[in-house]
Amino acid sequence: MTKKARSMAGLPWIAAMAFFMQALDATILNTALPAIAQSLNRSPLAMQSAIISYTLTVAMLIPVSGWLADRFGTRRVFMLAVSLFTLGSLACALSGSLGELVIFRVVQGVGGAMMMPVARLALLRAYPRSELLPVLNFVTMPGLVGPILGPLLGGVLVTWASWHWIFLINIPIGIAGLLYARKYMPNFTTPRRRFDLSGFFLFGLSLVFISSGMELFGERIVATWLALLVIVGGLLLLLAYIWHARRHPTPLIALPLFKTRTFSVGIAGNIASRLGTGCVPFLMPLMLQVGFGYPAFIAGCMMAPTAVGSILAKSVVTKVLRGFGYRKTLVGITIFIGLMIAQFAIQSPGKEVWMLILPLFILGMAMSTQFTAMNTITLADLSDENASGGNSVLAVTQQLSISLGVAVSAAVLRFYEGFENANTIEQFHYTFITMGVITVISAAVFMLLRAKDGNNLIRERHKA
């Protein structure tokens, strides 16, 4: 095997590792907050800053990752990102106060913001579009599994070890990633372009405001009107960036890439459909604990079938897309996911456990298919010049959609809590039905695709 062939074979593993680390770290802290609060002598309610500091840092810096990779090379920036993430993890484990933990979570966030976007950009540059589907199919699996395993792994480590291990487990993975990246990651660069500092602040701050507004809205930290005001402020900053980008010769993210129809539909579909899929890891453990009375550890374990389903679906996604095409697959699978979410309304504490495990497993397979299809069609028709900006927009969309799914489902649940004639379990049931209906409606976005869209990803590969 030639050196280039070995490098190509190793690159998807590097991207998969980066995706897993980033996705796991976004959720693993949730179940450990009470234990960390007790250790640091703080109120559990005050610990939210340890999560928000990471989320906002990632949201702020994702847009700049593409420019850095273009300017200094994918390998250099990726290795810097993994180094910062790993050192930040070690520092978090050694933190003796909440202030120190928040600071080192920001360091983690700087690394986390660049890891996955840069790794995926390297894949876009390394592989022809005809080979992108199976590669991204492989890479996206850890991104689905990470958020589901995060709360479960966090609960296990806190129960049988200590909260410090939530951060320490990143260190061997990070070191392996550095060694692997040094050997296999190509150092792609593009012609230099001036950094759009004004655009960075406008776009970055808009993401921070929107993301933090969703966190405030979903977690009910402040009054609803204040959370909505923060979100509106973020949207105004985003409009200001669009006005700026139209006049700047080399904007941070070029607006013409949205003229690529498959990219625009893919981004819109990501935002709309993830309202439903993003609610499941939030609502299901909550219903099992608050409604059904399950212990936290058991509630976390119940999400494992979704992760298993996501992994097993990897082998059939390509065949499904070849058989039905992207348009039919995305419309059909999104409607199916909506129905699967709605059917959780028939679950009750008295039912057999397998009647909950089986739908969660099937949902995992469906989400895996949708996730891979959305990602590949979004990137399918981007030119090499637009690849960096388009990849950054997709990463931003995925980051915000996590918060969006939680915030919207929390708001819907809060609405049904106002129904005096509904008990706690019924309130969860109504919420699942509502989120299922929203997901079914979101399938309409994928109707904007044409029957032949994505053929360059599946037919050429079949001939190869």
**Which residues make Cβ contacts (< 8 Å) with residue 40, sequence separation at least 6?**
95, 96, 97, 98, 101
- Note whether 112 and 55 are within 8 A (CB): no
Q: Who wins on pLDDT, 390 or 103?
A: 103
Share of the chain above pLDDT 90, in %: 23
pLDDT at position 7 is: 53
SS (H, E, C) 264-328: HHHHHHHHHHHHHHCCHHHHHHHHHHHHCCCCHHHHHHCCHHHHHHHHHCHHHHHHHHHHHHHHH
| pTM more than 0.75 | yes
Residue with tokens 């930040």: 88
AA letter at 59: A
Out of 31-35, 68-72, 264-268, which region has the weakest mean confidence (pLDDT)? 31-35
pLDDT at position 124 is: 82
pLDDT digits (tens, 9 = 90+) for 262-303: 999 999 999 888 888 888 877 888 888 788 887 766 776 777
Tokens of 428: 């969860």
Distance CA 34, CA 37 (A): 5
pLDDT digits (tens, 9 = 90+) for 117-136: 888 888 888 888 777 777 87
**Which residues make Cβ contacts (< 8 Å) with residue 245, sequence separation at least 6?**
199, 251, 252, 253, 254, 255
- Note whether 105 and 88 are within 8 A (CB): yes
Q: Who wins on pLDDT, 417 or 175?
A: 175
Distance CA 342, CA 377 (A): 27
